[in-house]
């Protein structure tokens, strides 16, 4: 089954069960300044769960575009290195707003997987929250799941959109890709491997977490589910990695051509094929590269893609060239992407030209520092100098260190950074902390210095 067919089969299945098909929304959440990007299918329905946005239906289904590259759900560092994580992906979901609850949600999911898609039951593994005896009974007594393939876990089975908002215990369904792939079942010490891949999460929405952390009961218990289209496509197409599915083939080929690097299993090429999707869709939804907030995250993703192209030997701007292949692949399902494609190309090219100069210079300096290195720890001062004086982004230094198996002295870097911030604060007549500008989800840890790093990058570009 092709990705487009799976998307359609899902929506039709739930439409037959009385769900209204709701079109995908923007990646920029219209109703929620606390959230960086739409990171799950439930985001456009947040206020419906909270009882603040009455709709003419109590059951809905959608194929929602999602980005997870910042905030609570941040998969940026996984991309290219696991078989299953993207920055941009499509989440298929069914929702009940105070209508059906656990029993039907579980039954619908099981029927869709085992009957509509015809997946073998022995390959499906299930988890529920440690406290959820009700869901356990449904899985064991009604569905008849083999207790060997069932377990109860803690944090992994409590889902939340962000630090605040609707949340609740969940039940996750995993597909076993077989013993050729390394990894253990959910809850085992090897669960981080890629053998047992989570395909669907059923969330039993019961609470609204407020800013103080308190769980307040929702007006009515509801259902929110999310299934990754690319992961299910991998299962249905008999391949292990998401990057081997139909949707990615042409993108990878285009990336190979544009960078002049032929091996489509190379992590860098996969990173590029992944990143063109998030970047193009973010621009489609009105985000532009900038030095703060959403625009800054976009800039970071673009620069990460460029860096990987650079690593593969691309010496000319290449990233913008992938828009044509993306349009061919996804423009039918997303006419708004097709319409924006010229603008996307322009924005990306400009960003590529600007970044190329900074990157060349910083790479040379980093390589020199690594060659001279005594031992296997890159000192925090070096990392800081690279980013502060030469505008070389921290995450790129981290990436290069990971590839060279060199540890980066992050604590030392943080110290330098803090010291510099203190100096900046003392010097500023306003005493403003600019890192707050991208603190959209209450997580200051990383975003702060990346923002500052970028300020430095821009300064370096201007200065060079």
**Considering the rule CB under 6 A, would residue 251 count as an interface residue with ligand ATP?**
no
Per DSSP bridges, beta strands 215-228 and 196-209 are antiparallel
Helix-strand-coil split of the chain, %, nearest 5: 50, 15, 35
Distance (Å, whole) CA 150 – CA 173: 10
Distance (Å, whole) CA 387 – CA 460: 10
What are the φ/ψ torsions at residue 449 (nearest 5 degrees)? -75, -25
**Considering the rule CB under 5 A, would residue 201 count as an interface residue with Mg ion?**
yes
320 binds, among Mg ion, ligand ATP, none (CB under 5 to 8 A by kind): none
Distance (Å, whole) CA 265 – CA 237: 17
**Considering the rule CB under 6 A, would residue 391 count as an interface residue with ligand ATP?**
no
Helix ranges (H only) for 373-409 are: 380-390, 394-404
Options 11, 113, 138, 227; binder of ligand ATP; rule CB under 6 A: 227
**Closer of 92 and 322 to ligand ATP (Cβ):** 92
Rounded to 10°, the helix 335-372/447-463 angle is 80
* Residues comprising the chain, all counted: 464
Give residues 194-213 in contact with ligand ATP (rule: CB under 6 A).
198-201
**Considering the rule CB under 6 A, would residue 45 count as an interface residue with ligand ATP?**
no
- Minimal distance, residue 328 CB to ligand ATP, in Å: 21
Element (H, E) at 174: strand 165-176
In the complex, which residue's CB is closest to ligand ATP?
A: 228
**Considering the rule CB under 6 A, would residue 226 count as an interface residue with ligand ATP?**
yes
- Minimal distance, residue 127 CB to ligand ATP, in Å: 10
Site string for ligand ATP, 60-99 (x = CB under 6 A): --------x----x-x--------xxx--x-x--------
Distance (Å, whole) CA 230 – CA 137: 30
- Minimal distance, residue 211 CB to ligand ATP, in Å: 22
Write the DSSP string, 7-42: HHHHHHHHHHTTPEE-----SS-TT-TT-SS--STT
**Considering the rule CB under 6 A, would residue 160 count as an interface residue with ligand ATP?**
no
59 binds, among Mg ion, ligand ATP, none (CB under 5 to 8 A by kind): none
Site string for Mg ion, 170-199 (x = CB under 5 A): ----------------------------x-
Rounded to 10°, the helix 323-330/246-259 angle is 170
Task: Compute the half-sphere exposure of residue 65: CA atoms within 13 Å on the CB side of its CA.
Answer: 21
- Minimal distance, residue 192 CB to ligand ATP, in Å: 9
**Span interacting with ligand ATP, options 223-231, 258-266, 283-291, 456-464, rule CB under 6 A:** 223-231
Per DSSP bridges, beta strands 165-176 and 124-129 are antiparallel
230 binds, among ligand ATP, Mg ion, none (CB under 5 to 8 A by kind): ligand ATP
Residues at the interface with ligand ATP (CB under 6 A): 40, 68, 73, 75, 84-86, 89, 91, 159, 198-201, 226-228, 230-231
Residues at the interface with Mg ion (CB under 5 A): 198, 201
């Amino acid at each position: 089954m092709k990705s487009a067919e799976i998307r359609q089969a899902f929506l039709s299945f739930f439409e037959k069960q009385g769900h209204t098909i709701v079109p995908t929304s923007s990646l920029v959440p219209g109703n929620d300044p606390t959230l960086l990007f739409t990171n799950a299918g439930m985001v456009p329905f947040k206020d419906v769960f909270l009882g603040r946005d009455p709709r003419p239906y109590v059951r809905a289904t959608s194929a929602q575009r999602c980005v997870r590259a910042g905030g609570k759900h941040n998969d940026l560092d996984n991309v290219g290195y696991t078989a299953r994580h993207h920055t941009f992906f499509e989440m298929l979901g069914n929702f009940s707003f105070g209508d059906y609850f656990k029993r039907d949600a579980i039954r619908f999911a099981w029927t869709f997987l085992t009957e509509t898609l015809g997946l073998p039951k022995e390959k499906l593994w299930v988890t529920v929250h440690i406290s959820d005896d009700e869901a356990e009974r449904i899985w064991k007594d009604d569905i008849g799941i083999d207790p060997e393939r069932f377990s109860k876990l803690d944090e992994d089975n409590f889902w939340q959109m962000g630090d605040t908002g609707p949340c609740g215990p969940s039940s996750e369904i995993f597909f076993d890709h077989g013993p050729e792939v390394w990894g253990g079942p959910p809850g085992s010490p090897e669960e981080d491997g890629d053998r047992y891949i989570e395909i669907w999460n059923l969330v039993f929405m019961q609470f609204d977490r407020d800013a103080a952390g308190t769980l307040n009961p929702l007006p009515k218990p509801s259902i929110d589910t999310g299934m990754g289209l690319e992961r299910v496509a991998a299962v249905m197409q008999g391949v292990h990695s998401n990057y081997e599915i139909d949707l990615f083939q042409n993108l990878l080929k285009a990336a190979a051509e544009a960078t002049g690097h032929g091996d489509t299993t190379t992590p860098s090429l996969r990173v590029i094929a992944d990143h063109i999707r998030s970047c193009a869709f973010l621009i489609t939804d009105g985000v532009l590269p900038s030095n703060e907030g959403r625009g800054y995250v976009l800039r970071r993703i673009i620069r990460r893609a460029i860096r990987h192209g650079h690593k593969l030997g691309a010496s000319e701007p290449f990233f913008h060239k992938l828009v044509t292949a993306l349009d061919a692949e996804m423009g039918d399902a997303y006419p708004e992407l097709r319409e924006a494609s010229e603008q996307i190309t322009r924005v990306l090219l400009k960003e590529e030209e600007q970044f190329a100069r900074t990157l060349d210079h910083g790479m040379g300096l980093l390589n020199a520092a690594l060659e001279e290195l005594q031992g296997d720890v890159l000192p925090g001062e070096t990392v800081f100098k690279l980013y502060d004086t030469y505008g070389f982004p921290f995450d790129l230094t981290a990436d290069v260190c990971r590839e060279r198996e060199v540890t980066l002295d992050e604590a030392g870097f943080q110290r330098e950074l803090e010291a510099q911030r203190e100096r900046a604060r003392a010097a500023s007549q306003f005493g403003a902390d600019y890192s707050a500008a991208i603190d959209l989800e209450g997580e200051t840890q990383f975003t702060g210095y990346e923002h500052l790093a970028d300020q430095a990058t821009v300064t370096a570009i201007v200065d060079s």
